[in-house]
């Protein structure tokens, strides 16, 4: 098969990266995609960096064996643990990761209060601390670790009292002052945007990095002359490290928006 007609690999610790996949398909509908969710080993966000590196590089090599021409690490946690090293080890493959969309959130309004929701690991890593240091003097930035939140989305719970209760408790310590914006620094969270907005009330704006990541991948793929020349719609294949069909079914429901 010609190099440029090969699929693009997209992966995450579970189903969250489908929020990025949706953006990819929007701007590059003629490409083929293999989406791999590592739900068996999820969550990544409460593991050590070394464990996440091992899992991420394992899935990366699997995708290469499946013949992908480029890889999107559609997981903030895996990106922070592995993207730099993978780029060094595989310079011939376009690799794009995702990081919390802090810049647009800070630029949105001067001297605003910005909450960054992400996994404990993403917020602990130097990559995030450096990102935060860049904008610290322009906004009041509050990192908010969310252990246990991705599990709701993995289970297909995108709404309801249990999730509302979790979010209400999560934001409680920050509610004394208004929150101007919230960065969704984990790819699972865009699937519960409405619930987050409901708990926060009006006036808060949400930011996520899915669209920017998709644009960056397109840029890198085109730069290397790897864009598909097909004019018809591409295919999306869903794979998951958990056996059985259930995770695949959930993946398709998230992808097509049929949970809501």
Binding residues for ligand DGL, rule: CB under 6 A, are 12-14, 16, 42-45, 75-77, 119, 122, 150, 186-188
Determine the Cα–Cα distance for residues 63 and 162; give it in Å rounded to an integer.
Answer: 36
Which CB, 6 or 255, lies closer to ligand DGL?
255
Q: Which residue is nearest to ligand DGL (CB)?
A: 45
In the beta sheet, which residues pair with residue 49? none
Which CB, 44 or 152, lies closer to ligand DGL?
44
The answer to whether 210 touches 23, Cβ cutoff 8 Å, is yes
In the set 42, 75, 86, 153, the catalytic residue is: 75
Residue 168: Cβ within 10 Å count: 14
* Nearest CA-CA partner of 252 in 150, 158, 148, 156: 156
User: How near is the Cβ of 83 to ligand DGL at its closest, in Å?
Assistant: 12
Which CB, 75 or 226, lies closer to ligand DGL?
75
Which CB, 86 or 150, lies closer to ligand DGL?
150
The answer to whether 135 touches 102, Cβ cutoff 8 Å, is yes
**146: annotated active-site residue:** no
In the set 116, 150, 183, 186, the catalytic residue is: 186
Which CB, 9 or 14, lies closer to ligand DGL?
14
Residues designated as active site:
75, 186
């Amino acid at each position: 098969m010609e190099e440029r007609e090969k699929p693009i690999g997209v992966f995450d610790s579970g189903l969250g990266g489908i929020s990025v996949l949706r953006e990819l398909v929007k701007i590059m509908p003629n490409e083929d995609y293999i989406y791999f969710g590592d739900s068996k080993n999820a969550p990544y966000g409460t593991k050590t960096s070394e464990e996440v590196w091992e899992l991420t590089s394992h899935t990366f090599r699997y995708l290469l064996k499946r013949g992908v021409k480029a890889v999107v690490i559609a997981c903030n946690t895996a990106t922070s643990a592995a993207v730099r090293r993978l780029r060094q080890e595989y310079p011939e493959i376009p690799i794009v990761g995702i990081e919390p969309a802090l810049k647009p959130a800070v630029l949105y309004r001067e001297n605003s209060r910005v909450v960054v929701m992400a996994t404990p690991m993403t917020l602990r890593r130097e990559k995030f601390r450096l990102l935060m240091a860049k904008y610290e003097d322009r906004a009041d930035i509050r990192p908010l670790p969310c252990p246990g939140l991705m599990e709701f989305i993995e289970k297909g719970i995108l709404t309801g009292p249990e999730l509302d209760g979790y979010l209400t408790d999560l934001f409680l310590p920050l509610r004394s002052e208004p929150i101007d914006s919230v960065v969704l620094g984990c790819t699972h969270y865009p699937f519960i945007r409405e619930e987050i907005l409901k708990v926060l009330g009006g006036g808060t704006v949400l930011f996520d990095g899915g669209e920017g990541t998709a644009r960056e991948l397109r840029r890198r793929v085109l730069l290397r002359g790897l864009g598909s020349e097909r004019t018809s719609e591409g295919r999306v294949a869903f794979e998951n490290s958990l056996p059985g069909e259930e995770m695949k079914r959930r993946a398709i429901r998230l992808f097509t928006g049929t949970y809501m």
